[in-house]
A = this chain, B = another copy of it.
Amino acid sequence: MSEKDQELKDQEVAETAEQKDLEQESVTDELAELTEKIDEMDDQLLRARAEIANITNRNRNERELLQRYRSQDLAKKLLPAIDNLERAMATDVSDEQGINLKKGVEMTLASLQQALKEEGIEEIAAEGETFDPNFHQGVQTVEASEDAPANTIVQVLQKGYKLHDRVLRPSMVIVAQ
C-alpha cells in the first residue's frame, strides 16, 4: 500500500467514524426525546386513571344521594293531603254513613302514613321538645311557665316532616319564651 493510498484510507476511516459520531449523536437526541415523551405519557396515563377513579366515586355518591332522596318531591306534595285527612278525621259524625266514611278516611290516612314511613319520611318530633330552628318554625310565643320552660314547644300548629335527615317541611309551633 502506498503512502497516498494509506492516507486516503485513513481519511475514509476518519470520515466514517465522524459520520458514525454524528449518527450516534442524533440517535442520542432521539432517545432523549422518546424518553421525555414516555414521561409525559406516563403522566397523562396517571391523570386519566385518577380521573376515572374520581368520576366513578363522584357518580356513586350522586347515585346514592338521588336514591336516598328520590321520594322528596312527591312526598312534599303529599303533605297537604295528609293535613286534609287529619282535619277530616277531626269531623264529628253521628250516623252510620258518616261512621263508614270516617273509617275509609282512617284507612287511607294509615296507608298514606305507612307509605311515607317506608320511604324514610317521618313526622318531626315537636310538642314538648326543645325548639330547634333546623326543624321547627316558631310562629307564636307564650310566656314560659313551670310546665313549659323557656324554649320549649308548647303547641304544634302544623306537623313537620323530614326525609331521613332532610326537612321536607318544618313544624309550625308555638314556643314558650
Contact = CB atoms under 8 A, between A and B. Distances in A.
Contacts of A49: 48
Interface of A is mostly: helix
Interface size range of chain A in the complex: 35 or more
Interface in A39-87: 41-42, 44-45, 48-49, 51-52, 55-56, 59, 62-63, 66-67, 70-71, 73-75, 77-78, 80-81, 84-85, 87
Contact of A45 (B28, B44, B56, B91): B44
Interface in A1-25: 1, 6, 9-10, 13, 16-17, 20-21, 23-24
Contact of A102 (B9, B45, B101): B101
Contacts of A37: 38
Copies in the complex: 2
Nearest to A24: B24
Contacts of A13: 10, 13, 17
A165 interface: no
A9 to B, nearest CB: 8
A87 B111 CA distance: 14
A148 interface: no
Contact of A95 (B23, B95, B108): B95
Q: Which 6 A-B pairs have the closest CB atoms?
A: A88-B104, A77-B115, A48-B48, A70-B70, A34-B34, A84-B108
